[in-house]
Structure 1
Amino acid sequence: MRELARALATKPFVAPDEKLPDALKNLDYDQYRSIRFAPEKALWRDEKLPFEVQFFHRGFFYKNRVDIFQVANRSVTPVSYRRADFSFGEGLGQWPDADLGFAGFRIHTPINKPDYYDELCVFLGASYFRAVAKGQTYGLSARGLAIDTGESKGEEFPVFKAFWLEKPAQNASSMVVHALLDSKSAAASYRFTIRPGQTTVFDVEMALYPRVDVAHAGLAPMTSMFFFGPNDRKDFDDFRPSVHDSDGLSIFNGRGEQLWRPLNNPHDLQVSSFGDVNPGGFGLMQRERNYLAYQDLESSFETRPSLWFEPIGDWGEGAVKLFEIPTKEEVHDNIAALWQPKQPLTAKSEHIFTYRLHWGPDAPKADALARFTRTGIGSRGDDSKLFVLELMGDRLKGIDPKAIKGMVTAEKAEISNIVTQPNPVTGGWRLSFQCAVKGQASIELRAFLAQNDAPVSEVWIYRWTP
């Protein structure tokens, strides 16, 4: 795979094949969803293996042809497109029979019940993929590579152009997928070892070959949606208290700090950078797991997965970057997080990265410190805001309330009325304070709980904007 990617990078970039009959090019969302792959035609269905694969038809947003191969018994064979493997909605299917190829695929395996093959993960569109763990529903996505995210010249979207699916053994507990990625600036190979369970884990081996120097590479990029929540619902008249796939960015940095950054839906693009050396990991998390926090019977936001990135080996100097993009509709992903190396990835050279992606209810990191579970913000007149932060964690149990101190700082703003107290309803703690906001375009805030000047909670960091 590395040799394929290396050789591809020596050639000029060729845009993906988007040739399709007009009837497929012009499908709307509902029409595309009406095209369904026949489950009984799934790859390996007849062999009753622990994994099987279904395929996506091309059309709508997904015009690129993706080549898919099966690897079995040391041989490689293409997975053939057969029109008869799909059913089409009313009025569709009126185009000449041809080898149209696939847009992507999804892997099924028993997760929740031993006799039912649940949908485990999907690879569909550009370099996007997503997964679930036991008891979860789809939410945020990962990507193979991001280039120039947030840059004024516009973002470059690499694409997976081919996949190789290793046929699993009869008793396999994991499945291996190889991928070849291409873009104007770089080519890359990937090996995904996918392990389903209470947390679904992707072991990722990536080899990147830039055609040109890539100054703004986004590694292990993840994409999510934050529409509104208790910290940011000023523009939304909605019966639901919160609408989001993720509610915060968690970072374990190389200095041993544990950070929590609640997400926003800002009026203007907000970019935050958290410089680091050899990060411990980061992730877009869905910490709020109570149905009453959402009250959406269809979307079930409380069951959306968190996604945690765990670097393997030396990742050097760089930054975790967070992008918060304004949106007026919940259908749009408006949150992105990624690792950006400090030094450009140089052309005509090999860059190897190994990491794990954990899809599940929480980060795999042990919480030695109490953590923030809710951020509420309300007005105190025109001049100030009241911040109410809820915390949970064993670290706070049995501590004398008089020994706990709330440490709060703000850049270019006055903080007052800092109060820390046990919350008898939740069994956790509450930290509240007021911040003068009049005349401020934005305020950077930082807070944590301390005992004898030593932190007993993670660090809450927040950018307030009007």
Structure 2
Amino acid sequence: MTTDLGRRRLLVSTTALAGVYLLPTWAAAATDIPALPADGEAFDFDRVIAHARALAQRPYTAPEQRYDKLLDEIGYEAFMGIHTRKQAALWAASDTPVTVEFFHLDQNARSPVAIHVVENGRTRRIPYDSALFRYDDPKLAERLPADLGFSGLRVLGRTEPAHEWLAFKGASYFRSPGGLDQYGLSARGVAVDTGYGSDEAFPNFTQYWLIKPAADATRMTLCALLEGEHVTGAYRITLSRPNDIVLDIESRLFQRRAIRRLGIAPLTSMFWFSETNARRGVDWRPEIHDSDGLAMTTGQGERLWRALVNPPRTQYSVFEDKNPKGFGLLQRDRVFDHYQDPDVGFENRPSLWVEPRGDWGSGHVGLLELPTDEEVYDNINVFWVPSEKATAARAWRFDYRLYWGADQPDPPALARVMATRTGRAGAPGTYQDQSVLARKFVIDFAGKPLDGLDADNAPEPRVHASHGQIDNPYVQHVEQSGRWRVFFDWKGELPPDDTPVELQAALYHGARQVTETWLYAYYPEALPRQLYSGDDNA
């Protein structure tokens, strides 16, 4: 791997270029739109693809929104008082391995979606019926119109109690609690101009087809139509639960308009503070985050760990690669005492790993970090951005697998980053002699390649900074935890152009790297909070 830490928020991998799933463009002339399968007709995913392709050649029509005054009244508390009737769930009376329940429209999900079931190869639309729900407020139930509609759906297993597998609600968002049965971060069908403030667009899954699985099936398939101002698409998603939740996704995208930043396989999470930046926390809990790092396996097989930050202003980091093997947002810290919140279970929040299928070609993993002062806002976005320009009339194909679980499916053989801590530079008693910009970094590594090493056969730290100087790097074996700890101080002046200092560290034993590479973006001085910027670096 060739790493150029002098370039702005850039990590370069020198994997050889391979073919990209790039489909031919088409003439922008309006054509007849192929009809989607009607009730009683055979379902064919190719018809959804053809429909999405033709839609992209027509002007965009925004999702229908009705009954605004009524939906204004269905806020969080009212929505939590609306319950699905288990006996009315789709396939409740069948012997399928899963059932499906539907979400009600509410204050934050106002656009109804069409939901179809495919049984014996034939499609049938499921009509909205308030009898599918039980309402804590009977007066609300009496006021609901007969054609209100659904906002989404969730798939549940047959266990008792029934564990949720997957849920779709709002734009193209979907979530899974994974094998630990705790919801956390989200995925999306596609990201459009994320990081460009109000210019970001949120295409919608407007129609779903739920294909009924056989009684002995171990997986279920659903298809979805994506519609947006910039892009349309067709998705086929096959889900299974061997232990964790695994989704195999086939996506076909067709552009209506040019997109500055097309995000493929986007992930969305929350990071407020951890042991890394706990000094910024104002909450009584020691840590609050759904994910604590971005893990990557490059096309050449390098293992990288970028510790997440809650930056003083919007930060967009670029990790260039070709044909990546995988990337994801992970929650590695699984110790309850580090969070102390039994009600929300941060220690059980799922990790989410993206495994590309086929050659994705050249591009970069983009990491957008937004400043936050609360845990209710998702401030972390990760996605793949192809290097090919996302121009109007362009078509794309991306296939990938998503793993929702406690860890990535192929953890590295290298020792891993277990914790990142920062503090005042220097040794105790010398703090007053240090620059206010200087900072100490302490990184814990653990894993089999470090086992058996001792003070006489210790690993060597290799630390680099994009700006300033690294002072006094050394390692220490912590007997109480069995981990190897890297210490170093960063010293220097403010970097130019309001950029952070990009730090990199790894442990070597002789000439061999024995740990994954730790990456971090350090701001020596808090900058004014600025949520959005017009330049390409957000």
Q: Kindly provide the CA deviation profile for residues 9-61 of structure 1, in whole angstroms up to 9, marking residues without a partner as x.
A: 22211100111251223422111221121111110001132100000011110
Map residues 22-101 of structure 1 onto 2, 5 A cutoff.
22-90=69-137, 91-101=139-149
State the alpha-carbon separation in 1 of the partners of residues 492 and 132 from structure 2: 60
**Percentage of matched positions with identical amino acids:** 40
Match of 1:5 in 2: 52
Q: Quickly say closer, same or farther: Cα 1:196–1:158, change in 2 above 3 A.
A: same
Given candidates 301, 305, 318, the residue that maps to 1:260 is: 305
Q: TM-score, normalised by structure 2?
A: 0.83
State the alpha-carbon separation in 2 of the partners of residues 209 and 355 from structure 1: 18
Match of 2:465 in 1: 410
- Greater shift, 179-188 or 132-141, is seen at 132-141
- Greater shift, 393-402 or 54-63, is seen at 393-402
- Greater shift, 283-292 or 396-405, is seen at 396-405
Match of 1:332 in 2: 377
Q: Is contact 1:274–1:319 with CA below 8 Å preserved after alignment?
A: yes
- Greater shift, 257-266 or 5-14, is seen at 5-14
Does residue 162 in structure 1 map to residue 217 in structure 2?
A: no
Provide the secondary structure at the position in 2 that maps to 1:218: strand
- Greater shift, 247-256 or 209-218, is seen at 209-218
1:365, distance to aligned residue in structure 2 (A)? 1.6
Q: Kindly provide the CA deviation profile for residues 130-160 of structure 1, in whole angstroms up to 9, marking residues without a partner as x.
A: 1122233000000000011112562011110
State the alpha-carbon separation in 1 of the partners of residues 267 and 494 from structure 2: 34
1:79, distance to aligned residue in structure 2 (A)? 0.9
- Greater shift, 447-456 or 316-325, is seen at 447-456
- Greater shift, 252-261 or 395-404, is seen at 395-404
Match of 2:267 in 1: 222
Given candidates 315, 325, 343, the residue that maps to 1:270 is: 315
State the alpha-carbon separation in 2 of the partners of residues 162 and 201 from structure 1: 22
Does residue 449 in structure 1 map to residue 507 in structure 2?
A: yes
State the alpha-carbon separation in 1 of the partners of residues 481 and 154 from structure 2: 40
Match of 1:105 in 2: 153
Q: Quickly say closer, same or farther: Cα 1:450–1:84, change in 2 above 3 A.
A: same
Map residues 24-423 of structure 1 onto 2, 5 A cutoff.
24-90=71-137, 91-110=139-158, 114-151=159-196, 154-380=199-425, 381=431, 382-401=436-455, 402-423=457-478
State the alpha-carbon separation in 1 of the partners of residues 107 and 332 from structure 2: 33
Provide the secondary structure at the position in 2 that maps to 1:93: helix
Q: Kindly provide the CA deviation profile for residues 142-188 of structure 1, in whole angstroms up to 9, marking residues without a partner as x.
A: 00000111125620111100000000100111110100001011110
Give the letter for the 2:465 counterpart: A
- Greater shift, 75-84 or 31-40, is seen at 31-40
1:454, distance to aligned residue in structure 2 (A)? 2.0
Larger radius of gyration: 2
State the alpha-carbon separation in 2 of the partners of residues 96 and 237 from structure 1: 42
State the alpha-carbon separation in 1 of the partners of residues 507 and 181 from structure 2: 32
- Greater shift, 279-288 or 410-419, is seen at 410-419
Provide the secondary structure at the position in 1 that maps to 2:278: coil
Q: Is contact 1:224–1:336 with CA below 8 Å preserved after alignment?
A: yes
Uncovered stretches (5+) of structure 1, i.e. residues with no partner? none
Match of 2:29 in 1: none
RMSD, aligned CA: 1.5
Match of 1:20 in 2: 67
Give the letter for the 1:410 counterpart: A
Uncovered stretches (5+) of structure 2, i.e. residues with no partner? 1-47, 426-430, 526-538
Q: How many residue pairs are counted as aligned between the two chains?
A: 463
1:437, distance to aligned residue in structure 2 (A)? 5.2
State the alpha-carbon separation in 1 of the partners of residues 153 and 198 from structure 2: 32
Provide the secondary structure at the position in 2 that maps to 1:47: coil
- Greater shift, 83-92 or 445-454, is seen at 83-92
Q: TM-score, normalised by structure 1?
A: 0.96
Q: Kindly provide the CA deviation profile for residues 362-400 of structure 1, in whole angstroms up to 9, marking residues without a partner as x.
A: 011231211101001111333421111111111111134
Match of 2:517 in 1: 459
Q: Kindly provide the CA deviation profile for residues 258-306 of structure 1, in whole angstroms up to 9, marking residues without a partner as x.
A: 1101111111101100011111110000000110111111011010000
Q: Kindly provide the CA deviation profile for residues 224-276 of structure 1, in whole angstroms up to 9, marking residues without a partner as x.
A: 00011011122223221110000000011113211101111111101100011
State the alpha-carbon separation in 2 of the partners of residues 185 and 225 from structure 1: 26
State the alpha-carbon separation in 1 of the partners of residues 286 and 474 from structure 2: 25
1:213, distance to aligned residue in structure 2 (A)? 3.3
